[in-house]
Structure 1
Amino acid sequence: MAWDVFSFIGTAAFAISGAIIAMEEEYDIFGVYILGMVTAFGGGAVRNLLIGVPVSVLWDQEFLFIVATVLITVIFFFSKYLLSHWNRWGSYFDAVGLAAFAIQGAMLAMRLEMSLYAVMVAAVLTGAGGGVIRDLLAGRKPLVFKENIYAIWAVIAGLIVGLDVFHGDIALYALLVLTASLRILSVFFHWKLPRKNIEI
Protein backbone atom coordinates (compact mmCIF):
# COMPACT_ATOMS: atom_id res chain seq x y z
CA MET A 1 0.00 0.00 0.00
CA ALA A 2 2.73 2.46 0.96
CA TRP A 3 4.55 1.82 -2.32
CA ASP A 4 1.49 2.80 -4.36
CA VAL A 5 0.85 5.88 -2.22
CA PHE A 6 4.41 7.13 -2.57
CA SER A 7 4.37 6.48 -6.31
CA PHE A 8 1.14 8.45 -6.67
CA ILE A 9 2.29 11.38 -4.51
CA GLY A 10 5.70 11.64 -6.16
CA THR A 11 4.30 11.41 -9.68
CA ALA A 12 1.62 14.00 -9.01
CA ALA A 13 3.95 16.45 -7.29
CA PHE A 14 6.68 16.28 -9.93
CA ALA A 15 4.25 16.33 -12.88
CA ILE A 16 2.85 19.59 -11.50
CA SER A 17 6.35 20.93 -10.84
CA GLY A 18 7.61 20.15 -14.34
CA ALA A 19 4.51 21.51 -16.06
CA ILE A 20 4.58 24.81 -14.18
CA ILE A 21 8.26 25.37 -14.86
CA ALA A 22 7.59 24.66 -18.54
CA MET A 23 4.83 27.30 -18.44
CA GLU A 24 7.19 29.78 -16.81
CA GLU A 25 9.65 29.18 -19.64
CA GLU A 26 6.79 29.75 -22.13
CA TYR A 27 6.92 26.26 -23.67
CA ASP A 28 4.17 25.25 -26.08
CA ILE A 29 1.71 22.53 -25.10
CA PHE A 30 3.97 19.74 -26.37
CA GLY A 31 6.89 21.08 -24.35
CA VAL A 32 4.73 21.32 -21.24
CA TYR A 33 3.72 17.67 -21.51
CA ILE A 34 7.29 16.55 -22.20
CA LEU A 35 8.79 18.45 -19.26
CA GLY A 36 6.00 17.35 -16.93
CA MET A 37 6.40 13.69 -17.88
CA VAL A 38 10.20 13.78 -17.74
CA THR A 39 10.08 15.32 -14.28
CA ALA A 40 7.57 12.75 -13.04
CA PHE A 41 9.26 9.64 -14.47
CA GLY A 42 12.87 10.61 -15.25
CA GLY A 43 14.32 9.90 -11.81
CA GLY A 44 12.80 6.43 -11.66
CA ALA A 45 14.04 5.61 -15.16
CA VAL A 46 17.63 6.60 -14.31
CA ARG A 47 17.45 4.66 -11.04
CA ASN A 48 16.22 1.53 -12.83
CA LEU A 49 19.10 1.73 -15.27
CA LEU A 50 21.70 1.94 -12.52
CA ILE A 51 20.33 -0.73 -10.20
CA GLY A 52 19.53 -3.23 -12.94
CA VAL A 53 15.74 -3.02 -13.14
CA PRO A 54 14.44 -3.35 -16.74
CA VAL A 55 13.53 0.07 -18.13
CA SER A 56 10.43 -1.50 -19.65
CA VAL A 57 8.93 -1.58 -16.14
CA LEU A 58 8.34 2.15 -16.58
CA TRP A 59 5.67 1.50 -19.22
CA ASP A 60 3.66 -0.72 -16.88
CA GLN A 61 2.60 2.30 -14.82
CA GLU A 62 -0.45 3.16 -16.93
CA PHE A 63 -2.44 4.65 -14.04
CA LEU A 64 0.42 6.99 -13.11
CA PHE A 65 0.74 8.15 -16.71
CA ILE A 66 -2.97 8.99 -16.67
CA VAL A 67 -2.55 10.89 -13.39
CA ALA A 68 0.38 12.87 -14.79
CA THR A 69 -1.46 13.61 -18.05
CA VAL A 70 -4.54 14.92 -16.24
CA LEU A 71 -2.52 17.14 -13.90
CA ILE A 72 -0.36 18.54 -16.71
CA THR A 73 -3.53 19.32 -18.69
CA VAL A 74 -5.00 21.18 -15.72
CA ILE A 75 -1.78 23.17 -15.30
CA PHE A 76 -1.73 24.11 -18.98
CA PHE A 77 -5.32 25.30 -19.22
CA PHE A 78 -5.47 27.02 -15.83
CA SER A 79 -1.92 28.38 -15.80
CA LYS A 80 -2.98 32.02 -15.51
CA TYR A 81 -4.36 31.36 -12.04
CA LEU A 82 -1.86 28.73 -10.92
CA LEU A 83 1.34 30.51 -11.94
CA SER A 84 0.55 33.46 -9.70
CA HIS A 85 0.72 31.10 -6.72
CA TRP A 86 3.72 29.06 -7.86
CA ASN A 87 6.36 31.12 -6.07
CA ARG A 88 4.58 30.36 -2.80
CA TRP A 89 3.64 26.72 -3.40
CA GLY A 90 6.28 25.51 -5.85
CA SER A 91 8.81 24.57 -3.20
CA TYR A 92 6.15 22.58 -1.35
CA PHE A 93 5.31 20.44 -4.38
CA ASP A 94 8.99 19.86 -5.05
CA ALA A 95 9.65 18.94 -1.41
CA VAL A 96 6.79 16.44 -1.35
CA GLY A 97 7.93 14.90 -4.64
CA LEU A 98 11.51 14.64 -3.39
CA ALA A 99 10.45 12.93 -0.16
CA ALA A 100 7.96 10.52 -1.73
CA PHE A 101 10.26 9.38 -4.51
CA ALA A 102 13.31 9.13 -2.23
CA ILE A 103 11.44 6.74 0.06
CA GLN A 104 9.98 4.83 -2.89
CA GLY A 105 13.41 4.41 -4.49
CA ALA A 106 14.90 3.20 -1.22
CA MET A 107 12.04 0.73 -0.78
CA LEU A 108 12.70 -0.73 -4.24
CA ALA A 109 16.39 -1.20 -3.51
CA MET A 110 15.49 -2.87 -0.21
CA ARG A 111 13.14 -5.26 -2.04
CA LEU A 112 16.04 -6.20 -4.28
CA GLU A 113 18.17 -6.83 -1.16
CA MET A 114 20.81 -4.33 -2.22
CA SER A 115 23.51 -2.82 0.02
CA LEU A 116 22.90 0.20 2.21
CA TYR A 117 24.88 2.41 -0.17
CA ALA A 118 22.82 1.23 -3.11
CA VAL A 119 19.64 2.01 -1.15
CA MET A 120 20.83 5.57 -0.53
CA VAL A 121 21.85 6.03 -4.16
CA ALA A 122 18.46 4.74 -5.30
CA ALA A 123 16.80 7.23 -2.94
CA VAL A 124 18.78 10.17 -4.34
CA LEU A 125 18.34 9.18 -7.98
CA THR A 126 14.60 8.67 -7.61
CA GLY A 127 14.04 11.72 -5.43
CA ALA A 128 16.24 14.23 -7.20
CA GLY A 129 16.78 12.73 -10.66
CA GLY A 130 13.57 13.98 -12.25
CA GLY A 131 14.13 17.46 -10.89
CA VAL A 132 17.69 17.56 -12.23
CA ILE A 133 16.52 16.53 -15.72
CA ARG A 134 13.69 19.09 -15.52
CA ASP A 135 16.01 21.94 -14.60
CA LEU A 136 18.59 21.03 -17.25
CA LEU A 137 15.96 20.88 -19.99
CA ALA A 138 14.56 24.21 -18.79
CA GLY A 139 18.02 25.79 -18.88
CA ARG A 140 18.14 26.28 -15.11
CA LYS A 141 20.74 25.44 -12.51
CA PRO A 142 19.53 22.18 -10.89
CA LEU A 143 18.30 22.56 -7.31
CA VAL A 144 20.62 19.75 -6.24
CA PHE A 145 23.62 21.98 -7.09
CA LYS A 146 22.34 25.10 -5.36
CA GLU A 147 23.37 26.16 -1.88
CA ASN A 148 20.07 25.28 -0.20
CA ILE A 149 20.08 21.77 1.22
CA TYR A 150 18.19 19.49 -1.19
CA ALA A 151 19.49 16.04 -2.06
CA ILE A 152 20.88 15.43 1.44
CA TRP A 153 17.30 14.92 2.66
CA ALA A 154 16.89 12.14 0.10
CA VAL A 155 20.14 10.58 1.34
CA ILE A 156 18.91 10.67 4.94
CA ALA A 157 15.53 9.19 3.99
CA GLY A 158 17.32 6.42 2.09
CA LEU A 159 19.60 5.78 5.07
CA ILE A 160 16.64 5.47 7.43
CA VAL A 161 14.81 3.09 5.10
CA GLY A 162 18.02 1.12 4.50
CA LEU A 163 18.67 0.73 8.23
CA ASP A 164 15.08 -0.48 8.61
CA VAL A 165 14.50 2.03 11.38
CA PHE A 166 10.85 2.65 10.49
CA HIS A 167 8.49 -0.32 10.38
CA GLY A 168 5.04 -0.31 8.79
CA ASP A 169 3.20 2.02 6.46
CA ILE A 170 2.35 4.61 9.13
CA ALA A 171 6.02 5.00 10.03
CA LEU A 172 6.92 5.46 6.35
CA TYR A 173 4.22 8.12 5.98
CA ALA A 174 5.72 9.85 9.02
CA LEU A 175 9.12 9.72 7.31
CA LEU A 176 7.54 11.31 4.22
CA VAL A 177 6.18 14.20 6.28
CA LEU A 178 9.48 14.58 8.12
CA THR A 179 11.60 14.59 4.95
CA ALA A 180 9.33 17.03 3.12
CA SER A 181 9.18 19.29 6.18
CA LEU A 182 12.96 19.39 6.51
CA ARG A 183 13.28 20.33 2.85
CA ILE A 184 10.71 23.11 3.24
CA LEU A 185 12.43 24.37 6.41
CA SER A 186 15.79 24.40 4.62
CA VAL A 187 14.25 26.69 1.98
CA PHE A 188 12.47 28.91 4.50
CA PHE A 189 15.48 29.34 6.80
CA HIS A 190 18.11 29.19 4.02
CA TRP A 191 19.97 26.24 5.53
CA LYS A 192 23.16 25.52 3.61
CA LEU A 193 25.81 22.85 3.52
CA PRO A 194 29.36 24.04 4.27
CA ARG A 195 31.55 24.80 1.30
CA LYS A 196 35.18 25.71 0.81
CA ASN A 197 36.16 28.93 -0.94
CA ILE A 198 39.57 28.58 -2.53
CA GLU A 199 41.42 31.66 -3.70
CA ILE A 200 43.51 31.19 -6.82
Structure 2
Amino acid sequence: MTSGQAAVPAPVRSDTDPGDPGTGDPGTGRDAILRAARRAFTQRPYADVTIRGIAADAGVSPSLVVKHFGRKEELFNTVADFGPAAAELFDAPLPVLGRHMVVTLVRHRRALQSDPLLRVVFSLGNRDERSLLRDRFQEQVTDALAARLTGRERTLRAELIAGHLLGLGATLGLHRSGAGADATPEHLADLYAPALQALIDGS
Protein backbone atom coordinates (compact mmCIF):
# COMPACT_ATOMS: atom_id res chain seq x y z
CA MET A 1 0.00 0.00 0.00
CA THR A 2 1.34 3.44 -0.79
CA SER A 3 1.84 5.92 2.01
CA GLY A 4 -0.97 8.17 0.76
CA GLN A 5 -3.62 5.51 0.74
CA ALA A 6 -6.19 5.31 3.47
CA ALA A 7 -6.75 2.05 5.25
CA VAL A 8 -9.86 0.20 4.22
CA PRO A 9 -12.22 -0.56 7.13
CA ALA A 10 -12.43 -4.24 7.88
CA PRO A 11 -15.82 -5.80 7.15
CA VAL A 12 -17.58 -7.96 9.68
CA ARG A 13 -15.95 -11.35 9.77
CA SER A 14 -17.95 -14.23 8.39
CA ASP A 15 -17.61 -17.82 9.52
CA THR A 16 -17.76 -18.91 5.89
CA ASP A 17 -14.27 -19.51 4.58
CA PRO A 18 -13.80 -17.83 1.16
CA GLY A 19 -10.71 -19.85 0.53
CA ASP A 20 -9.48 -22.35 -1.99
CA PRO A 21 -8.48 -26.01 -1.75
CA GLY A 22 -7.00 -27.10 1.54
CA THR A 23 -3.68 -28.83 1.82
CA GLY A 24 -4.90 -32.25 2.87
CA ASP A 25 -2.55 -32.06 5.82
CA PRO A 26 -4.83 -32.42 8.86
CA GLY A 27 -3.41 -32.27 12.36
CA THR A 28 -0.56 -29.86 11.57
CA GLY A 29 -2.54 -26.60 11.71
CA ARG A 30 -1.65 -25.81 8.09
CA ASP A 31 -5.26 -25.71 6.88
CA ALA A 32 -6.31 -23.57 9.84
CA ILE A 33 -3.48 -21.15 9.07
CA LEU A 34 -4.56 -20.89 5.44
CA ARG A 35 -8.18 -20.22 6.42
CA ALA A 36 -7.10 -17.52 8.86
CA ALA A 37 -4.75 -15.98 6.30
CA ARG A 38 -7.50 -15.87 3.65
CA ARG A 39 -9.79 -14.05 6.06
CA ALA A 40 -7.06 -11.64 7.09
CA PHE A 41 -5.74 -10.74 3.65
CA THR A 42 -9.16 -10.39 2.03
CA GLN A 43 -10.77 -8.41 4.84
CA ARG A 44 -8.01 -6.08 6.05
CA PRO A 45 -5.32 -3.90 4.48
CA TYR A 46 -2.10 -5.81 3.92
CA ALA A 47 -0.14 -3.54 6.28
CA ASP A 48 -2.54 -4.35 9.13
CA VAL A 49 -2.12 -8.11 8.81
CA THR A 50 0.45 -9.76 11.06
CA ILE A 51 1.77 -13.28 11.45
CA ARG A 52 0.87 -13.07 15.12
CA GLY A 53 -2.73 -12.14 14.34
CA ILE A 54 -3.08 -14.94 11.80
CA ALA A 55 -1.65 -17.39 14.31
CA ALA A 56 -4.09 -16.27 17.00
CA ASP A 57 -7.04 -16.66 14.63
CA ALA A 58 -5.82 -20.12 13.58
CA GLY A 59 -5.20 -21.22 17.17
CA VAL A 60 -1.52 -21.96 16.59
CA SER A 61 1.80 -20.38 17.50
CA PRO A 62 3.41 -17.71 15.29
CA SER A 63 6.45 -19.99 14.92
CA LEU A 64 4.25 -22.66 13.32
CA VAL A 65 3.01 -20.14 10.75
CA VAL A 66 6.61 -19.27 9.90
CA LYS A 67 7.56 -22.95 9.75
CA HIS A 68 4.85 -23.72 7.18
CA PHE A 69 4.83 -20.52 5.12
CA GLY A 70 7.79 -18.33 5.98
CA ARG A 71 7.31 -14.56 5.87
CA LYS A 72 4.03 -12.71 5.53
CA GLU A 73 4.76 -12.00 1.86
CA GLU A 74 5.15 -15.71 1.12
CA LEU A 75 1.92 -16.54 2.95
CA PHE A 76 0.10 -13.84 0.98
CA ASN A 77 1.40 -15.27 -2.28
CA THR A 78 0.00 -18.68 -1.29
CA VAL A 79 -3.41 -17.17 -0.56
CA ALA A 80 -3.35 -15.28 -3.88
CA ASP A 81 -2.67 -18.39 -6.00
CA PHE A 82 -5.75 -19.59 -7.92
CA GLY A 83 -3.75 -21.83 -10.26
CA PRO A 84 -4.39 -25.21 -8.61
CA ALA A 85 -8.11 -24.52 -8.23
CA ALA A 86 -8.43 -23.40 -11.85
CA ALA A 87 -6.54 -26.46 -13.10
CA GLU A 88 -9.00 -28.73 -11.27
CA LEU A 89 -12.09 -26.82 -12.38
CA PHE A 90 -11.04 -26.73 -16.05
CA ASP A 91 -9.82 -30.33 -16.28
CA ALA A 92 -12.44 -31.62 -18.73
CA PRO A 93 -13.14 -31.51 -22.47
CA LEU A 94 -15.07 -28.44 -23.63
CA PRO A 95 -18.29 -30.35 -24.49
CA VAL A 96 -18.72 -31.39 -20.83
CA LEU A 97 -16.80 -28.59 -19.09
CA GLY A 98 -19.86 -26.82 -17.71
CA ARG A 99 -21.07 -29.88 -15.86
CA HIS A 100 -17.57 -30.71 -14.69
CA MET A 101 -17.09 -27.24 -13.20
CA VAL A 102 -20.34 -27.36 -11.25
CA VAL A 103 -19.79 -30.87 -9.88
CA THR A 104 -16.16 -30.11 -9.00
CA LEU A 105 -16.97 -26.85 -7.24
CA VAL A 106 -19.79 -28.37 -5.18
CA ARG A 107 -17.79 -31.46 -4.21
CA HIS A 108 -14.85 -29.29 -3.24
CA ARG A 109 -16.96 -27.06 -1.02
CA ARG A 110 -18.48 -30.03 0.76
CA ALA A 111 -15.25 -31.97 1.19
CA LEU A 112 -13.03 -29.08 2.29
CA GLN A 113 -15.60 -26.61 3.66
CA SER A 114 -14.23 -23.85 1.44
CA ASP A 115 -14.79 -22.35 -2.00
CA PRO A 116 -11.99 -22.47 -4.58
CA LEU A 117 -12.68 -19.00 -6.02
CA LEU A 118 -14.93 -16.94 -3.78
CA ARG A 119 -12.22 -15.20 -1.78
CA VAL A 120 -11.54 -12.86 -4.69
CA VAL A 121 -14.92 -11.20 -4.08
CA PHE A 122 -13.75 -10.01 -0.67
CA SER A 123 -10.98 -7.97 -2.30
CA LEU A 124 -13.27 -5.92 -4.54
CA GLY A 125 -13.01 -2.16 -4.08
CA ASN A 126 -9.70 -2.23 -2.20
CA ARG A 127 -6.57 -0.58 -3.59
CA ASP A 128 -3.72 -2.06 -1.61
CA GLU A 129 -1.82 -5.30 -2.18
CA ARG A 130 -5.11 -7.18 -2.26
CA SER A 131 -5.40 -6.02 -5.87
CA LEU A 132 -3.00 -8.91 -6.50
CA LEU A 133 -5.90 -11.25 -5.76
CA ARG A 134 -7.87 -9.71 -8.60
CA ASP A 135 -4.86 -9.71 -10.91
CA ARG A 136 -4.14 -13.39 -10.18
CA PHE A 137 -7.81 -14.29 -10.63
CA GLN A 138 -7.86 -12.53 -14.00
CA GLU A 139 -4.69 -14.27 -15.13
CA GLN A 140 -5.15 -17.75 -13.66
CA VAL A 141 -8.92 -18.13 -13.97
CA THR A 142 -10.52 -15.81 -16.51
CA ASP A 143 -7.64 -15.55 -18.98
CA ALA A 144 -6.83 -19.25 -18.67
CA LEU A 145 -10.44 -20.14 -19.43
CA ALA A 146 -10.64 -17.70 -22.34
CA ALA A 147 -7.57 -19.35 -23.86
CA ARG A 148 -9.42 -22.69 -23.88
CA LEU A 149 -12.60 -21.40 -25.49
CA THR A 150 -13.23 -21.23 -29.21
CA GLY A 151 -15.31 -18.90 -31.30
CA ARG A 152 -16.18 -15.24 -30.86
CA GLU A 153 -16.06 -13.09 -27.71
CA ARG A 154 -14.01 -15.62 -25.78
CA THR A 155 -12.89 -13.12 -23.14
CA LEU A 156 -16.42 -11.87 -22.49
CA ARG A 157 -17.75 -15.42 -22.28
CA ALA A 158 -14.95 -16.38 -19.88
CA GLU A 159 -15.78 -13.42 -17.65
CA LEU A 160 -19.44 -14.42 -17.58
CA ILE A 161 -18.56 -18.03 -16.80
CA ALA A 162 -16.35 -16.88 -13.92
CA GLY A 163 -19.27 -14.80 -12.66
CA HIS A 164 -21.55 -17.84 -12.77
CA LEU A 165 -19.06 -19.86 -10.73
CA LEU A 166 -18.68 -17.09 -8.15
CA GLY A 167 -22.45 -16.75 -7.99
CA LEU A 168 -22.89 -20.46 -7.39
CA GLY A 169 -20.35 -20.40 -4.58
CA ALA A 170 -21.95 -17.34 -3.00
CA THR A 171 -25.43 -18.88 -3.22
CA LEU A 172 -24.34 -22.14 -1.63
CA GLY A 173 -22.62 -20.20 1.14
CA LEU A 174 -25.62 -17.94 1.72
CA HIS A 175 -28.11 -20.83 1.83
CA ARG A 176 -25.98 -23.29 3.76
CA SER A 177 -29.04 -25.01 5.21
CA GLY A 178 -31.27 -24.51 2.18
CA ALA A 179 -32.45 -26.85 -0.54
CA GLY A 180 -29.04 -26.79 -2.23
CA ALA A 181 -27.46 -28.37 0.81
CA ASP A 182 -29.55 -31.52 0.27
CA ALA A 183 -29.11 -31.70 -3.50
CA THR A 184 -26.41 -33.90 -4.99
CA PRO A 185 -23.64 -32.25 -7.01
CA GLU A 186 -24.99 -34.03 -10.08
CA HIS A 187 -28.50 -32.65 -9.59
CA LEU A 188 -27.16 -29.14 -9.09
CA ALA A 189 -25.22 -29.61 -12.32
CA ASP A 190 -28.42 -30.71 -14.09
CA LEU A 191 -29.96 -27.35 -13.20
CA TYR A 192 -26.98 -24.99 -13.30
CA ALA A 193 -24.57 -26.34 -15.89
CA PRO A 194 -26.64 -25.70 -19.06
CA ALA A 195 -26.19 -21.92 -18.73
CA LEU A 196 -22.46 -22.40 -18.27
CA GLN A 197 -22.24 -24.81 -21.18
CA ALA A 198 -24.05 -22.36 -23.47
CA LEU A 199 -21.37 -19.78 -22.71
CA ILE A 200 -18.62 -22.37 -23.23
CA ASP A 201 -20.08 -23.38 -26.59
CA GLY A 202 -20.72 -19.81 -27.64
CA SER A 203 -24.32 -20.60 -28.50
Q: TM-score, normalised by structure 1?
A: 0.32
Question: Which protein shows a greater Rg?
Answer: 2
Which structure is higher in helix share? 1
Q: TM-score, normalised by structure 2?
A: 0.31
